[in-house]
Amino acid sequence: MENHLLEVRNLTKVFGGGLISKHQTVALQNFSLTIPGDRAVITTIAGESGSGKTTLARLILGFLTPTSGEIIWLGRNIRKMSRKEHITFRRELQAIFQDPYGVYNPFYRVDHVFKTVVSEFKLARSKDGVRRMIGDALEVVGLRPEEILGKYPHQLSGGQRQRIMVARSFLLKPRLIVADEPVSMIDASLRAMILEIMLKLRREFGISFLYITHDLSTAYQISDRIFILYQGSVAETGDATKVIDKPQHPYTQLLIGSIPIPDPTLSWEENIDLPPDEEMGKASETGCKFYSRCPHAMELCRQSSPPLYRIGDDHYASCYLYKDSR
């Protein structure tokens, strides 16, 4: 069995249902994915709010414990790792987050974010060694060390701060970077730089990415594979270009059809409506989660939740419309 880099098996996370609150929320249900170990891949986890994508990121990073299911890193279950294995895991799996300001302590110069990494992981022996490492990492992300080091976070733009965070992750030569909405708080004209850096890290350094986003337009530009999440379950998954060019699940079709295209000649087709109960978050308990909004809903959909059907080469959708394809 070839060694996957990351394997997520039947991961479920339920919030609530304790002594105080009877109400339970199933944030993520029975989620599985694999990221290969032999090549660098950019996998997108896409969804709107309530889809479970942030919960998945937090589970993988170990910020949350799963209710059931396993997260396996290079063949080892992350909850059963020895201390030594765990330190290596922490080095090989890095993260960049959405807010390029909140992650910085405003009292320290930005150099501080590198210093903690270097000392925690004992990356270099001499001061010169450290300086060279940091300089190299900054150049990889297109920043000039002399323009960045010694400055405070507020003196730099969001794009620069985010690139510093990528440089910091890069210092540890990770195998996988979890990027949670890395460009959503950055101006449109500066986003391309971050996305280009992600592509460059994959191409030149073999680093894989798990790109968590609601923005399918950017996902389309950089992803190899994609998972479309809806209310904790996978609606559709497969090769990113195939899924976005020809979505098969009714939710994916609605989602992609609702993206405003930056071309005034291509407009939204017909007007859509949202049933009020759905809006207030009370989706159906049993059956397909998309039932109440689905234009193709059948009786079967109300009774049970559809599994993932293979609908093409590297293209899967969890929808009874495809129950006869295998």
Residue in 209, 205, 183 with CA at minimum distance from that of residue 194: 183
Asked if 139 is part of the footprint of another protein (rule: CB under 8 A), the reply reads no
Would you count residue 271 as binding another protein (CB under 8 A)? yes
d(CA 187, CA 206): 27
Residues 156-185 that bind another protein (CB under 8 A): 157-158, 160
Q: What is the DSSP string of 112-181?
A: HHHHHHHHHTT--SSHHHHHHHHHHHHHHTT--HHHHTT--GGGS-HHHHHHHHHHHHHHT--SEEEEES
Tell me: does residue 295 bind another protein (CB under 8 A): no
Which residues in 196-215 contact another protein (CB under 8 A)?
196, 214
Segment near another protein (CB under 8 A), from 29-37, 111-119, 165-173, 276-284? 276-284
Verify binding: residue 146, another protein, rule CB under 8 A.
no
Rounded CA gap, 65 and 58, in Å? 9
- E strand or H helix that includes residue 233: strand 233-239
- Distance between CA atoms of residues 96 and 175, nearest Å: 14
- In terms of CB distance, is 85 or 278 closer to another protein? 278
Should residue 228 be labelled a site residue for another protein when binding is judged by CB under 8 A? no
Q: Is 239 in the site for another protein (CB under 8 A)?
A: no
Q: Closest separation between CB of residue 62 and another protein, Å?
A: 27
Q: Which of 220, 227, 290, 309 binds another protein (CB under 8 A)?
A: 220
Pick from 278, 273, 280: nearest CA to 290: 278
Residues that bind another protein (CB under 8 A): 48-49, 157-158, 160, 187-193, 195-196, 214, 216-218, 220-221, 241, 244, 254-256, 258-268, 271-274, 276, 279-281
